[in-house]
Chains A and B, each alone.
Chain A
Amino acid sequence: GDSVTQMEGPVTLSEEAFLTINCTYTATGYPSLFWYVQYPGEGLQLLLKATKADDKGSNKGFEATYRKETTSFHLEKGSVQVSDSAVYFCALSSGSGGSNYKLTFGKGTLLTVNP
């Protein structure tokens, strides 16, 4: 079945450091890929997405490129801020056209950014 593997945390960085959170996937067909962010005590917020190979999703300085050849969707940000501290989830969607549509999530990566 479909699966998402993402880098285990926690990840601790200093402010303005470069961030990479690795995500690879296994899926049949052509899934869409997502990064969601969860701040403490809250639900998930969509951070960015990509729907086909070579698409780059970007938002709030974060970027991720859909790499079909390496089945990856790594999240990057050039300069993190304290406010970026949160849990980041990589996800893929499957069964897009049918009743079996659903999201499959990675385990989440806790990012802590220190001033």
Chain B
Amino acid sequence: GAVVSQHPSRVICKSGTSVKIECRSLDFQATTMFWYRQFPKQSLMLMATSNEGSKATYEQGVEKDKFLINHASLTLSTLTVTSAHPEDSSFYICSARDLGERTDTQYFGPGTRLTVL
């Protein structure tokens, strides 16, 4: 299957700082990428849909000014957690949509563990 990478895999930061997480589709172009948040032993919560060249669409309850999303190319989307606080500590997972003539599948990155001290 297709490969999606995330960087960094783990990050620890101080409260009040900003953290950027990168999501890359390595062997296909993705006009659409997604950002999820997963709490321990829970399912994935969709935060936003990122479309290449346009503004992201945020799910209800997700602060767009806090979670900045940029999808500057067909293979890269970034999530920046601004002014991070301990409650932002979580596992963040991105996915990229592989949409072709014969396929329509989301492939997921390995996740980024964010810890805010």
Contacts and interface: CB of A to CB of B under 8 A. Distances in A.
Interface of A: 32, 34, 36, 41-46, 49, 51, 89, 93, 96, 99, 101-103, 105-108, 110
A108 B34 CA distance: 19
Interface stretch (B13-21, B70-78, B106-114): B106-114
B34 A102 contact: yes
For chain B, what secondary structure do more than half of its interface residues adopt (helix, strand, loop), or is it mixed?
Answer: strand
A44 B34 contact: no
Interface string B21-43: 00000000000101000000111
Contacts of A32: 104
B93 interface: yes
Given A46-B105, A93-B104, A96-B104, A105 B111 contact: no
Contacts, number: 54
Given A44-B93, A101-B32, A107 B42 contact: yes
Interface of B: 1, 4, 6, 32, 34, 41-44, 46, 49, 51, 57, 93, 95, 97, 104-111, 113
5 closest Cβ contacts across the A-B interface?
A: A44-B108, A43-B111, A43-B110, A43-B108, A107-B43
A44 B111 CA distance: 8
Nearest to A6: B43
B6 A99 contact: no
